[in-house]
Structure 1
Amino acid sequence: MNKMLSRTALAAISIAFAGEAMAVEWNVSVWGKRRAFTEHVEKLAELVSEKTDGEFTMNISYGGLSKNTENLDGISIGAFEMAQFCAGYHRDKNPSITVLELPFIGVKTLEEEVAVSHAIYEHPAVKEDLARWNAMPLMTSPMPQYNLVGTGDPRDTLASFDGMRVRATGGIGKAFEMVGAVPTSVTSSEAYNAMESGVVDTVAFAPHAHLSFRTIDQAEWWTTNLNPGTVNCPIVVNTDAYEALSDEHREALDSSVEESIEHYLDNYAELLGKWESILDEKGVKRVEFSEEELAEFRKTAADPAREQWIEDMSAQGLPAQELYDLVMSTLEETRSGN
């Protein structure tokens, strides 16, 4: 009887340890605070936990694990299992993705941004590029076109950009540089202080970031239709951590991406609906550029930036023209499908 009880007890302990071994917790490195930009990560964690009955959970850290400019490095050494980063923060670390940050590539909606981003992430050259950091792309963080907030006299012509100090990264920064502005790539978390101290005159962000990082609180004016481009910010996972997942947990993760993106899009649409009233509330003047000025901006910035990017990336051994063409063909297919 005692032997039988002992066997039963050992079996119970074994089952308990087996259950504990099945539990998986991933650390996720993002930054700032919870906002529209991170809602898909929050939704992903919620869905994965639900689908696995709490066996697979995600601990989302807002700045506690790494600087936003070092998230890809953290992924590479397995310091955490998932992270968000923006390509423009370190173009040399992820050159293939920077095709999505070229100015004036023509993306008009967040749905189009999702389509072109995910198409690029699936390209073998991009997967190989990120594999250098032991990273796998999971999903994008789609953002609308950037626009400026600024202080002082409104910059409402290209000529007025000459000498303008602007917080802008990646291809957007290059675009402003081509029309005489002086871009600086301070991180989003540093943008408010840079504006407050006069290090920059203007800040280029999507609406949610102007709210989240409080640059709107200093703004005297906002460009409504400049739309020079946006930055691309993937969510990536550590390859080893992904491959170590059970089939059930991997399926829970992969199958939750689409719903997480849909949640993000719905949430962002709600925010954009409030944006105009926020401008009114804060007394921010709207600056609208003429079509002539916009056409000149595109001519000055878009073509040279694209040609230079293709030349530079080709020299690095990337199929640059192929990647650019993939963006264009995906845009065409997405629009024809709608």
Structure 2
Amino acid sequence: MTKYLKGCAVAAISIAFAGEALATEWNVSLWGKRRAFTEHVEKLAELVSEKTNGEFTLNISYGGLSKNRENLDGISIGAFEMAQFCAGYHRDKNPSITVLELPFLGVSSLEEERKISMAVYGHPAVQADLARWNATLLMPSPLPQYNIVGVGDAPMTLADYEGLAVRATGGIGKAMEAVNAVPTSMSATEVRQALDSGVVKAVAFAPHAHMSFGTVESGAWWTTNLNPGTVNCPVVANTDALADLSDAHREALLGSIDESLDHYIDTYNGATMAKWGPTLEEKGIKSITYDDAELAAFREAVAGPAAASWVADNTAKGLPAQELLDIVTGMVGSGS
């Protein structure tokens, strides 16, 4: 009887250790705070835990693991297993996906942004580009067109942007240069202090970020229809960590991406945008709307030259740049 009990105890301990061996925890590096921009990652964590009965968990950190501009570096050395970053933070490190940040691409919805981003992410040259950082692209963070909140005198015409210091990254920065503004690249977490201290006079953000990072607290005006472009901010996994997952855990992760993106878009189009108008009204922020002729001239001056320059620069780096641009432009407005 004693031997039987000992055998049961050994078996129980073995089962316990086997259970522990199956448990997987990933650290996920984000920044700021939970907001519309991170809802797909939050949903992914929820779904993965549910599908694996808690055996696979994503531990999400808002700034505790890395600075946002260093998330890709952290992924490359395996400091954490998953992260979000924006292509415009370090264009030299991820040139292939900066095609999605070109100004005036004409993307009209989050759904279209999602489809085009996923198509670009699936291109072998893009995957090889990110593989240099041991990173596998999982999903985008679709964002609407950026517009500008600023302090001081409002630029009533595009000519009024001359000399205006604007926080603008990627292609939006190129657009600002075209109207003789002075674009400045800084991370989202630095923006409020820069605006309050006068380092910049205006900030280009999507609506959720204007609310999350406080530009609406001091802003006096915003542009309703400048729509110069947006930024592309993928969520990536460390490639080695992804390969080390069990088949079941990998399927739980990858099989939850579509549902996570659905949740993200529903949240952004619903709750987030429902807050935007009332917030502007509550803060007394003046709306600036430009006429169609001015905007058409702006697009014509910026879009073509920026795209041509991007193709030339990145072809020289060995990327199939024209092919990547054609994927994007071929999908805009196509419904594909």
The TM tier, using the shorter chain, reads over 0.9
Alpha-carbon displacement from aligned partner over 1:106-163 (angstroms, at most 9, x marks no partner) = 1010001001100000000000000000000000000000000011111121211111
Within 5 Å, which residues of 2 pair with 1:6-45? 6-45=6-45
DSSP 3-state at the match of 2:15: helix
Within 5 Å, which residues of 2 pair with 1:1-338? 1-270=1-270, 271-333=272-334, 335=335
Alpha-carbon displacement from aligned partner over 1:151-197 (angstroms, at most 9, x marks no partner) = 11111212111111000011111111122011110110000010000
1:179·1:300 contact (CA, 8 Å) conserved in 2?
A: no
Distance 1:71 1:274 in 2: 30
Distance 1:209 1:332 in 2: 26
Q: CA deviation at 1:4?
A: 3.0
* Number of residues of Structure 1 aligned to a counterpart in Structure 2: 335
Distance 1:3 1:178 in 2: 83
1:107·1:113 contact (CA, 8 Å) conserved in 2?
A: yes
- The letter of the residue matching 1:285 is K
Distance 1:14 1:190 in 2: 51
- The letter of the residue matching 1:28 is V
Distance 2:287 2:97 in 1: 32
1:179·1:301 contact (CA, 8 Å) conserved in 2?
A: no
Alpha-carbon displacement from aligned partner over 1:64-116 (angstroms, at most 9, x marks no partner) = 00000000000000000000000000000000000000000110100010011
Distance 2:159 2:268 in 1: 33
- The letter of the residue matching 1:46 is E
Alpha-carbon displacement from aligned partner over 1:25-75 (angstroms, at most 9, x marks no partner) = 100000000000001100000000000000000110000000000000000
Q: Which consecutive residues of structure 1, in runs of 5 or more, have no partner in the other structure?
A: none
Q: CA deviation at 1:222?
A: 0.6
Alpha-carbon displacement from aligned partner over 1:264-296 (angstroms, at most 9, x marks no partner) = 111101211221111111111000011111011
TM-score (norm 2): 0.98
- The letter of the residue matching 1:18 is A
Higher alpha-carbon deviation: 292-301 or 203-212: 292-301
C-alpha RMSD of the superposition: 0.9
Distance 1:219 1:296 in 2: 27
Distance 1:275 1:83 in 2: 27
1:115·1:331 contact (CA, 8 Å) conserved in 2?
A: no
DSSP 3-state at the match of 1:145: coil
TM-score (norm 1): 0.98
Q: Which consecutive residues of structure 2, in runs of 5 or more, have no partner in the other structure?
A: none
- The letter of the residue matching 1:60 is I
Distance 1:171 1:269 in 2: 24
Higher alpha-carbon deviation: 311-320 or 157-166: 157-166
Q: CA deviation at 1:332?
A: 4.2
Identity of aligned residues (%): 67
